[in-house]
Amino acid sequence: MTTTEELLQREDAAWSAFVDAFGAVPDDRRSDEGVVPGWSVHDLVWHCGFWTAYAAEVLRKIAGGELTEDPQDWNALDANVLEDGRAMSWDEVIVRSEENRVRCREALEALPTLTDAAIEEFTGETFEHYEEHAAQIRAFNVA
């Protein structure tokens, strides 16, 4: 059985590795597209930051017994996230992503019961997400 503490520890380790990956990218390359097609390091950091906030809201709904619904069009939502992130400075992306991460961790800790749905949401939008994009950023940084 997975515990809240185990999830938080895994998230913390993955976030640290993610920070190490994007922190190793020179300042003048953070906005260069190509980490994944059409996306920069700046874009991916905000993408992860946004989705941790999204997960925090889902976890709050789970805690309140509300049904959660997935957005109808993930691609359209991600396009909006990309546009919003590009309007932010690097420092703003970092600060807001950190704030969202804290909110997500707090939402997990506030759950009265750790359900499979909560575990899946937290896992997918935090450490699995960070690990995926950290690997892409590391590959981009050595190219």
What CATH number is given to the structural domain containing 57?
1.20.120.450
Comparing C-alpha atoms, which of 139, 143, 136 is closest to residue 43?
136
Comparing C-alpha atoms, which of 52, 28, 49, 30 is closest to residue 39?
30
Q: Determine the angle formed by the axes of helices 127-142 and 116-125, rounding to 10 degrees.
A: 20
pTM, full prediction:
0.93
Residue 77, pLDDT score: 82
**In the chain, pLDDT over 90 holds for what percent of residues?**
87
Tens of pLDDT, residue by residue over 55-106, are: 999 999 999 988 666 666 777 888 889 999 999 999 999 999 999 999 999 9
Of the pLDDT bands very low, low, confident and very high (cuts 50, 70, 90), residue 1 is confident
Q: Cα 137 vs. chain centroid, distance in angstroms?
A: 14
User: What DSSP designation does 113 have?
Assistant: S
Domain that holds residue 95: 4-142
Q: How many domains does the chain have?
A: 1
